[in-house]
Amino acid sequence: MAMTRAATPTRIIDPHVHVWKNDPRFPWAKETKNPPSEDRSAEMLLELMKANGVAKTVIIQYIGFRWDNSYVADVLTRYPQYFRGVARVDPENPANPDHLSKLVKEQKFSGVRLSPAANASGDWINGPLMPPLWKRCEELKVPMTVLTSSQRLPDVEKLIAKQPGLTVVIDHMADCPVGNTVELAKLIALAKYPKVFVKISHTWSISKEQYPWRDAQANVKELHQHFGPQRLMWGTDWPVCLRHATYTQTLTSVRDDMPFLNDNDKEWMLSKTVERVWPFGK
């Protein structure tokens, strides 16, 4: 049964977007050879939030800027009532714990994101620089957010096991392929760690169907059974989602078109779970 408007959470919080702006004050990283020509600014995002009843949002540092988090820092300064920010640090820089401390203490970031590739270029996730960074993250009391494929989850689990007090968020269900129970099991294995959360975003990415991406909802249903709604959260992944879905569709797919979720589930997954990880206050 679709969720009625009366049962919509008091406020909806989006835990996953990116923003960028072509502005010489915020230079693209040298690795970004073809930066996007169109802006996806915080102001554009605020308009979308207003139109869709989204009250607050967590901004994830866009990879095109690499380790220069200055645009998101600027947004956090200008719109603190609407946004939290998750930074990036260079995972292969020995100074990354201190960089994270500065980002959190001086620029008001609320976490860090790592993106280990499945191939050899992501092998740093098993290297000696990771434990100090994960430990610092816990000391700062901010979450560790991980974007990776399901193949890397066993490596990530080793770090989770060593730092059980750290809140860890797995982005986009680790893009576990639809129908691949072996890969999905690697994500489900993390349910035994009570401080691991999962974003159920990217149903539009892994699906082979049109909206509302029913085939990919099977992954969400499995994760719901193992993690429960208190450790699952939605997310738009705007503007990356625009390749397959509108901002609105990423919301309505969860709010209105996942029949196995009841109103209490949606209250958690659209709002309350997000605030367990990124508290916004009033």
188-208 residue pLDDT tens: 999 999 999 999 999 999 999
Query: Which residues, including other chains, have CB under 8 Å from residue 98's CB and lie 6 or more apart?
Result: none
At 139, is the pLDDT very low, low, confident or very high (cuts 50, 70, 90)? very high
User: Cα(107)–Cα(220) distance, rounded to whole angstroms?
Assistant: 34
DSSP β-bridge partners for residue 113: 88, 145
Average pLDDT of the chain is: 96
* Across 5-9, 26-30, 70-74, 110-114, least confident range: 5-9
* Rg of the chain taking only CA atoms, in angstroms: 18
Return the structure tokens found at 211.
């909206």
- Please report where in the chains the tokens 């309505």 appear, as a residue: 252
Return the structure tokens found at 234.
């939605």
Task: Please determine, for residue 138, whether its predicted confidence score (pLDDT) is greater than 50.
Answer: yes
Q: How far is CA 228 from the centre of its chain?
A: 18
At 114, is the pLDDT very low, low, confident or very high (cuts 50, 70, 90)? very high
At 10, is the pLDDT very low, low, confident or very high (cuts 50, 70, 90)? confident
Average pLDDT over residues 95-105: 98
**What is 5-277's CATH topology?**
TIM Barrel (3.20.20)
SS (H, E, C) the chain: CCCCHHHCCCCEEEEEECCECCCCCCCCCCCCCCCCCCCECHHHHHHHHHHHCEEEEEEECCHHHCCCCHHHHHHHHHCCCCEEEEEECCCCCCCHHHHHHHHHHHHCCCCEEECCCCCHHHHHHHCCCHHHHHHHHHHHCCCEEECCCHHHHHHHHHHHHHCCCCCEEEHHHHHCCCCCHHHHHHHHHHHHCCCEEEECCCHHHHCCCCCCCHHHHHHHHHHHHHHCHHHEECCCCECHHHHCCCHHHHHHHHHCCCCCCCHHHHHHHHHHHHHHHCCCCC
199 residue type, one letter = K
**Can you give the pLDDT at residue 2?**
41
pLDDT, tens only, 44-86: 999 999 999 999 999 999 999 999 999 999 999 999 999 999 9
Task: Please determine, for residue 120, whether its predicted confidence score (pLDDT) is greater than 60.
Answer: yes
**Can you give the pLDDT at residue 282?**
75
CA–CA distances in Å: residue 267 to residues 104, 142, 199, 246: 29, 23, 15, 22
**Can you give the pLDDT at residue 8?**
62
188 residue type, one letter = I
Task: Please determine, for residue 3, whether its predicted confidence score (pLDDT) is greater than 70.
Answer: no
DSSP β-bridge partners for residue 84: 58
pLDDT, tens only, 174-186: 999 999 999 999 9
103 residue type, one letter = L
**Can you give the pLDDT at residue 55?**
98
Return the structure tokens found at 220.
């969400």
Instruction: Give domain limits for the chain.
Output: 5-277
